[in-house]
Structure 1
C-alpha cells in the first residue's frame, strides 16, 4: 500500500479508509475545477462530495488542508495529461514542440486551469497562509519540465531552462485569467517557443 499523504488521519492503515478519502478528494477537486476557489468552504465541499462537513473533518485536517490537497490533485492530473501530450507523436522531438504540446492542456478548464491560477494568486495575497500553493506548484512542475529537456544537456542548463519555461508559462497563464487577452498570451507562447528553438540551436 502506498505511503499515507499529509492530512491522512484516523483512517490511516486501512485500505477502505484510504479509498474513501481519495473518493472524497476527487469529488472536491472536480467541484473546484468547475466552480473555482470563490466561496470555498467545508460545507460547500461536503455538498460536492455528497457527505457532511464532519465526515470531511474525519479525513482531512480542516478546510485549508482539504483545499491544498484538492488543488494538488488537480495539478497532478494536469501534469500527467500534459506529459502524455508532450510525449505524443504530434509533439515532435524538440523541446519547443514538447512545450507547445503542453499549452492546450494548461489552458483546458477540465484540468482546473482557472482554479490553479487562482491558487497562485492566493499565495501572493496571503503568503503566511497559502505560500504552499506556490511552493508545491514549483515542486510538482519542475520535475516534469526537466524531463522534457534534452537528456544530453548538463544538469545546470536543464535546470535553468526548466525554470525559465515555468516562470514564463506561469506569467502567461495568470495573464490569460486576469486579463482575458488570449491573443496576447498566444503571442507570448510563440515567443517562448522561438527562444527554446534558439536554445536548442535550431534557429
Structure 2
C-alpha cells in the first residue's frame, strides 16, 4: 500500500524500469545544469525528450520526480567524493580523506543541492525528504572514511561531526563567499580530526 503509483506502473517489467532510469538520468542531467528554480513537469519532459504524461506514468507527480532527481544528483556527488577519498588513501588519515572530498562538495552541482536543502527548509510540508535524505545518503560514506579499528559508535559520532561541520561550511560558502574564512575553519576541522585519530 505504501508504494507510489508511478513505481507500481513502471516496475512491472525490466523494460519499464530501464525506461524509468533513462528518463530520470535525463532529468537529473538537466537539474545539474539548470537548478531547481522553475522546475516543472513541462521542463522535465523537454529535458527527457518525452511528454509530461509519460513522466506521470513513471513518477508520482512533479515533487516525486524532483526528489528522485535530487537524490540521484547527490549520489553522483557522493560517488565522486568517495573516489577522491580512495585516491587519498596513499596518505591514509581521516583528515586527508576529508580534505580530498571537500573540492568535490563545493564543485559542479553543489549550488543545485544547496537549493534543494533551501527548498526543504522553505516548504517542509512538500520537500522535507530532500533534507532528511541528505543525511541518510552522506552519513554511511563519512562513516566508511573513519579508521576501521574504531568502534561503530565512535565512527558515527565523528561522521556526524564531519557532516554538520561541512554542511555549515557549504552554507557559508553559498551565502557569504568568504573563501579565506571558510578555509581557516576547514583547517581547524583537519587539525581536530588529526587529534581525534591520534587519541586512544
Same fold, judged at TM 0.5 (above): yes
Pair 1:14–1:130, CA change in 2 (3 A): same
Pair 1:74–1:191, CA change in 2 (3 A): same
RMSD across aligned positions (CA): 1.8
Q: How does 1:48-197 map to 2 (within 5 A)?
A: 48-89=47-88, 92-109=91-108, 112-197=109-194
CA contact (8 A) 2:89 2:97 kept: no
CA contact (8 A) 1:46 1:53 kept: yes
1:179 to partner: Cα distance: 2.0
User: Which stretches in structure 1 are left out of the alignment for 5+ residues?
Assistant: none
Pair 1:59–1:25, CA change in 2 (3 A): same
Pair 1:15–1:117, CA change in 2 (3 A): same
Secondary structure at 2:7 match in 1: coil
Secondary structure at 2:198 match in 1: coil
Q: How many residues align?
A: 197
CA contact (8 A) 1:123 1:130 kept: yes
1:130 to partner: Cα distance: 1.3
User: Which stretches in structure 2 are left out of the alignment for 5+ residues?
Assistant: none
1:191 to partner: Cα distance: 1.5
1:90 to partner: Cα distance: 6.3
1:91 to partner: Cα distance: 5.7
CA contact (8 A) 2:95 2:194 kept: yes
Q: How does 1:2-81 map to 2 (within 5 A)?
A: 7-81=6-80
Per-residue Cα deviation, 1:49-103 (whole angstroms, up to 9, x for no partner): 1111111111100000000000000111111111111011466200000011001
With 120-129 and 51-60 compared, the bigger mean Cα shift is at: 120-129
Which contiguous aligned blocks of 4+ residues in structure 1 show a shift greater than 3 angstroms? 4-7
1:171 to partner: Cα distance: 1.0
CA distance in 2, matches of 1:123, 1:72: 13
